Structure 1
Amino acid sequence: MTSRTPDARPAAPPQPVDVAAVLRGLDAIFAAHDGPTRAAPYLQEALADAERQGDDGARLTLLNELVGLYRSQSLHDDSVMASRSALTLVESMGLTGTDAHATTLINAATAMRAAGRPDDARALYSQALSVADAAFGPTDRRLAGLHNNLSILCSERQDHAQALAELRAAMSILEASSVDPERDLDIATTCTNLALVSFTLGQHEDAARYVDRSLAIYQDGGHEDDPHYASAVAGHAEACFRVGRYADAVTMYRQALAIITECYGADNDYYAVTAENLAEAEAEAAAAAAAGAAPGTGPSDRPSTATPVTAAAASRPAAAVPTTRTLDSGLDLARAFWEEHGRPMLESRYPAYSGRIAAGLVGHGSECYGFDDAISRDHDTGPGFCLWLTAEDHAEIGAALQADYDALPRTFRGVDRTPTTPRAHGAGRRVGVFEIGAFYEQITGYRQAPTTAHEWLMLDEATLAAATDGAVFADPHGAFSAVRGSFTRMSRDVRWALVSRRLGMISQAGQYNVPRMLDRGDGEAAWLSVGELTRAVASLVFLLTGPSSAGYLPYYKWHFAALRRLSRRMGSSLPGAVDDLSEILRLASAACFGPGSPDARARLEERIERLCATIAAELQARGLSSSGETFLERQREHVAAHITDPWLKAL
């Protein structure tokens, strides 16, 4: 093996931050219950990287994450400062009046409320309501979150009747938009809040009903490991205390405290309040036992100190924090295999090259998207990673490095890394040693991102998703990240041309052909039209959000998984579209193949039109159209006006 000193190369240009990878990493920290020690430094480092790269979109997402994290850790001054920075950034990015503005206002108001500044919080919540009314749809779940937060502020100001009204407004939105109300985490949280306010107002029967429903959702949905479960448990404990079931209250408070400690540590307001309530419940339980009273007798006359909670110590939205897995995800396994075996091998055997070799896992496979699970493990999975080399380095050491990679342990953490299908061997292999250009040519047909509009249009979105998904574990030289990043920088002209195409398909397939095919009694054709509508809307969501922050729409079977994940992210376009599409598919099944229910057809066409109206509003909010026209074919000319490339304009 020839050794040489790496030559000096020009510094790689600034690259957009891989926000999806950052958030997956944050999810993994919370899933491992390392939030108290690792989450803040992790986000701070990612934010510093975004600032170095000049990536304002990533900065805004990360600042909003920090607002919630600092609040959950009772670092209220830091939370307020981060929220102010986020609002300043919203203005400088020209996002005033958008859904990103509304969401940032909500986060800032909640930070002010937690910091004990109710007047500032009320002003920001009022501003958020004004923006949200224009930016969000009537069933947008973020609007429900805003009402939920307003209820907390009202409770803290002793306006319990208004708090109840805000919570009922939130519940109305959630139930209207929920795909499965009996497993919906947001409905469970709102039930907990309703229970606490109802107790304060003396409405004990309503409170008990809300508590039972909240706990049933968490338990039936298998969400006991979710940090939000602490809210439901603490709410149930408060309910038990208020009706004199002190022993039950002690049990529940201890359970809530254990969850808070495990997920967020003991140095925060949530822990302190819950610990204080536990001590009081223990004292009452001991007194009741000494007096010989039955554990459930005698309602408490304690004034309620409980405040409705959105989530006990939660710094992320409920659905963004995964339940703990019994098996490592593919990306986690790949990263661990790299750290324990790959990196040491490079540093010991290729010291002159280790500073020039990138490592990670990118390409085809559910593990690269973060969607793998136990079902995925029946083929082409196992510990493995990619090593990416420049053409020069690959010519010198590629074969030797591949042999050393192949010699790494065949089993890691009890999982075999031998591929199981022919497509995972030879030219189609997904892991091992690659020359950077050849790796991307294998996936996309191009050694680097296209340079012309025509070439971009030749690439489908699933291919681009495979080229930009996954995670880069190390890239000290920056050569691989430069190529990978180039595939996320689709020009605005190409994006708007694709947006125009998607609008045309949504209109043609959904607004025009679904009712016509149903009129003809051709349910199969109507069903295919709904499929085209679904694909076009899913693509539109990713295109409007932007490849640099959202990536691309993946392979068809992951459309809904990808939409659900994106809908939970700050600043994503059309976050309610995934629920609309789910309901459209359900209604279409009945309308196309059912026993001829006119109600199903009417509801299907109404839901399609509602979705199209939401899309039209989104185009206006993003400055792509000044028209309120909801027949989306007529929106295409407004979007096309933003295209400067003559060839694309003529398509």
Structure 2
Amino acid sequence: MQADCAMGGDGKEDRVNDSTDAFDEDRFLAELDAIFSSHRGATDAEPSILQALADAENAGDDAGTLTVLNEAIGFYRSQGRNQDVQWMVQRALELGLRMGITGTDAWTTTLINAATGMRAAGLHDQAEDLYKQALESANATLSPTDRRMAALHNNLSMLYSETGRPRQALAELRAALDILESSSPDPDHDVDIAATHANMALILLDVAAQSSESDEYLRQADHHALTALSLYRAAGAEHESHYASALAAMAQVSYARGLFDDAVAFYGKALALIEECYGTDADSYRVTKQNLEDARLRAGKRTPDDTSSPAPPVQSGDDRRRHDDAAADGPDIPHPTDEVPHATSRVHASSAEPAAEPSAPSSISGLDLSRRYWEAYGKPLLDGRYSRFRDRTAVGLVGHGSECYGFDDDISHDHDFGPGFCLWLTAEDYAVIGADLQHDYEGLPESFMGFGPRVRTPRAQGQGRRVGVFEIGDFFESLTGLREAPSADKPHEWLMLDEPTLAAATNGRVFRDPYGMFSRTRRGFMLMPDDVRLSLISRRLGMMAQSGQYNLPRMLERGDPAGAWLSIGQFVDATSSLVFLLNNPASVGYLPYYKWRFAALRRLSKRMGSVLPQVAAGLEDIMRLSSAACYAGVGFGEGGKGASTSMAAVRKHVEDVCADVASELRREGLSESTETFLEWQRPYVESRITSDSPLLRSLED
């Protein structure tokens, strides 16, 4: 309900240098600033960010990559694309830790941006933890008057507001305002001070709703809203997106005071400015439009041709206020400043140590070999004969093969390994140059850096080839059976896609994608609808209960080692899947096929902020003990002597894993039950499913 405020950046951005030899951070920032200044953010920002991300990674520029990731967090937050936000937050935090920048102001800024992104995604517990880390880091790395301190207090106030703590939120905003007013060279023309006044007006409405002195708090809210508008006007910022937030705040205050005609006027001005800055597809436009209609109804100004029923005020991703009394509380306002990604604090970081020299050829990964082969031979090919299609072609390595998961090693070199990469074209471009480009691709050197020629197994030839030129839809159809991800209203199609299939379609690395179509299609498969994810979580809980908690003990008691062994297998499979689903595939990817299941679990358990990191080791203990528990001594005529200890240990490990899962369900708000028999957790999880599709719910007896 407030405007995110992340101050302290220098506002530089520009288009990325296409060279893979170096990444020009300043040019990228200047380009991005130019995109938003010309109101092209909705169409041009994401391709610029994704291309910059690929360029920075390909150049091995960790500091540049971190800068782009921070910008990406702000952009996806502004678009309400919460799963993308989580993904970028995870990557930024992991990269910052790997760079060793903890204890620096760059780490403080990254924590602030990450916390703000997670808050906007509705993950309040994670956001509060990150904000606390940011405060601790800020106190050690920033001066008390650093404007990023104000941003931190401002955004923390939003968290308190959204979790029903308005007085704490108001205290944080007052702290932010004190910092800004004491540090500003020109407080009478400072738009950050204006934004904070607007946020204070909104918080005061919450305080008024909980106070017996509501009139006084409404008067204060009116004062702060008017101050915000006055400061924006003095700064000549009446055509900037932040001004729309102040207009909407003034409308909210007017609504709360019963001045519905004024609310209509201010909402109308806010809506026009949002349309100018972001078009009509942004969430903020839709929310403000509905709020304007609600204000018109209250003012008796309903349009004559509108015969629809009045709708309750719409809440945007950041609007989580309750409306016990709509007339007094008013409709929720949008957050136009959330639409401005470069409101994100800028990061300027360098690795703690100089970049390492390239790996020796004997130890190079398949992804790195692919990228270098592309740089050496593919890029010159595309820049030459096919230069007209250069900015419409995506390049990378995605699909089947251990190298696409990053799990390849020297043993992997005996099949389907060697120099190669994928070129992905639109259907229109493929019809024009697909055959010729494939012919020229096949003419590239077969050996590179001591590797090759590529040894192809029968399954990786013809229609199953893993590298070369592909039409985007054909490529995904070859992996999933679908040319693009199913829509959210087709859960049956999502349920037909198993996790290893989705893992193959979303793994690997995209080296460049200036046009963005391949990345958008790929991301569609990453973004499993939450109702489908909840349904799968319920199914995995059911299988864990059935196989591990119910049938395993019975098979052991019956003396049926084969049945017990298979029960353990089912339990391990279901639990492995559940861990990835609870971590959210949009952030961590999907569980790959059985061969790499535990490699993926081990890697996931080492990620910062990973959910249930201890479960991977617990499952390995279960598998290690299962041989003795199921078959100990039987094959040697010993009648199973010593098996009882292992049987008890396996059963305890299973129950420990299930107890950890039940605890995590409660922590994530997916259940209120303390029951550790996981079958009884399923109704709680399924109650969170909003779709009415019967396919997403378990059958009742």
TM-score (norm 2): 0.57
Counterpart residue number, 2:72: 49
Whichever residue aligns with residue 632 of structure 1, its letter is L
2-structure distance, mates of 1:529, 1:484: 35
Equivalent position SS for 2:511 = strand
Whichever residue aligns with residue 630 of structure 1, its letter is T
Match of 2:435 among 386, 391, 399: 399
CA contact (8 A) 1:489 1:547 kept: yes
Counterpart residue number, 1:612: 658
How far 1:495 sits from its partner (Å)?
Answer: 0.7
Whichever residue aligns with residue 565 of structure 2, its letter is W
Q: Check if 1:95 corresponds to 2:117.
A: no
Whichever residue aligns with residue 380 of structure 1, its letter is D
Whichever residue aligns with residue 520 of structure 1, its letter is R
1-structure distance, mates of 2:575, 2:429: 43
The alpha-carbon distance between structure 1 residues 75 and 618, as it changes in their structure 2 partners (threshold 3 A), is closer
Whichever residue aligns with residue 603 of structure 1, its letter is A
Match of 2:110 among 82, 98, 106: 82
How far 1:490 sits from its partner (Å)?
Answer: 1.2
Equivalent position SS for 1:415 = coil
Counterpart residue number, 1:131: none
1-structure distance, mates of 2:622, 2:547: 13
Q: Check if 1:461 corresponds to 2:499.
A: yes
Whichever residue aligns with residue 480 of structure 1, its letter is F
CA contact (8 A) 1:468 1:487 kept: yes
Whichever residue aligns with residue 555 of structure 2, its letter is M
The alpha-carbon distance between structure 1 residues 532 and 345, as it changes in their structure 2 partners (threshold 3 A), is same
How far 1:66 sits from its partner (Å)?
Answer: 6.2
CA contact (8 A) 2:90 2:587 kept: no
1-structure distance, mates of 2:394, 2:463: 20
Counterpart residue number, 2:569: 531
How far 1:56 sits from its partner (Å)?
Answer: 2.5
The alpha-carbon distance between structure 1 residues 515 and 482, as it changes in their structure 2 partners (threshold 3 A), is same
How far does the alpha carbon of each residue in 1:364-416 deviate from its partner, in whole angstroms, 9 at most, with x for none? 00000000000111101101001111111111111111110000011100111
Match of 1:569 among 607, 610, 617: 607
Q: Check if 1:60 corresponds to 2:89.
A: yes
2-structure distance, mates of 1:636, 1:585: 26
The alpha-carbon distance between structure 1 residues 570 and 645, as it changes in their structure 2 partners (threshold 3 A), is same
Equivalent position SS for 1:364 = coil
Counterpart residue number, 2:322: none
How far 1:593 sits from its partner (Å)?
Answer: 1.7
How far 1:61 sits from its partner (Å)?
Answer: 2.3
The alpha-carbon distance between structure 1 residues 344 and 22, as it changes in their structure 2 partners (threshold 3 A), is closer
Counterpart residue number, 1:438: 474
2-structure distance, mates of 1:326, 1:614: 42
How far 1:329 sits from its partner (Å)?
Answer: 0.3
Q: Check if 1:631 corresponds to 2:677.
A: yes
Q: Check if 1:424 corresponds to 2:460.
A: yes
1:573-612 aligned at under 5 Å gives the runs: 573-595=611-633, 596=640, 597=642, 598-612=644-658
The alpha-carbon distance between structure 1 residues 14 and 87, as it changes in their structure 2 partners (threshold 3 A), is closer
Q: Which runs of 5+ in 2 are unaligned?
A: 1-41, 78-83, 145-350, 634-639
Counterpart residue number, 2:174: none
The alpha-carbon distance between structure 1 residues 468 and 622, as it changes in their structure 2 partners (threshold 3 A), is same
Q: Check if 1:390 corresponds to 2:426.
A: yes
Identity rate, percent: 48
Equivalent position SS for 2:486 = coil
CA contact (8 A) 2:103 2:140 kept: no
Q: Check if 1:502 corresponds to 2:540.
A: yes
How far does the alpha carbon of each residue in 1:522-581 deviate from its partner, in whole angstroms, 9 at most, with x for none? 112111111111111111111111121111110111011111111122333211110111
Q: Check if 1:265 corresponds to 2:342.
A: no
1-structure distance, mates of 2:370, 2:569: 35
CA contact (8 A) 2:104 2:141 kept: yes
CA contact (8 A) 2:541 2:574 kept: yes
Equivalent position SS for 1:476 = coil
How far does the alpha carbon of each residue in 1:311-333 deviate from its partner, in whole angstroms, 9 at most, with x for none? xxxxxxxxxxx998842100000
Match of 1:39 among 56, 59, 62: 62
CA contact (8 A) 2:418 2:451 kept: yes
CA contact (8 A) 2:421 2:468 kept: yes
Whichever residue aligns with residue 648 of structure 1, its letter is L
2-structure distance, mates of 1:15, 1:558: 32
The alpha-carbon distance between structure 1 residues 89 and 355, as it changes in their structure 2 partners (threshold 3 A), is closer
How far 1:74 sits from its partner (Å)?
Answer: 7.4
Q: Which runs of 5+ in 1 are unaligned?
A: 1-9, 118-262, 268-321
Counterpart residue number, 2:399: 363
1-structure distance, mates of 2:455, 2:606: 34
The alpha-carbon distance between structure 1 residues 390 and 518, as it changes in their structure 2 partners (threshold 3 A), is same
How far does the alpha carbon of each residue in 1:156-178 deviate from its partner, in whole angstroms, 9 at most, with x for none? xxxxxxxxxxxxxxxxxxxxxxx
2-structure distance, mates of 1:13, 1:507: 46
How far does the alpha carbon of each residue in 1:491-518 deviate from its partner, in whole angstroms, 9 at most, with x for none? 1111111111000000000001111100
The alpha-carbon distance between structure 1 residues 402 and 89, as it changes in their structure 2 partners (threshold 3 A), is closer
1:68-147 aligned at under 5 Å gives the runs: 68=97, 72-73=100-101, 76-98=104-126, 102=129, 105=132, 109=136
Counterpart residue number, 2:412: 376
Counterpart residue number, 1:350: 386
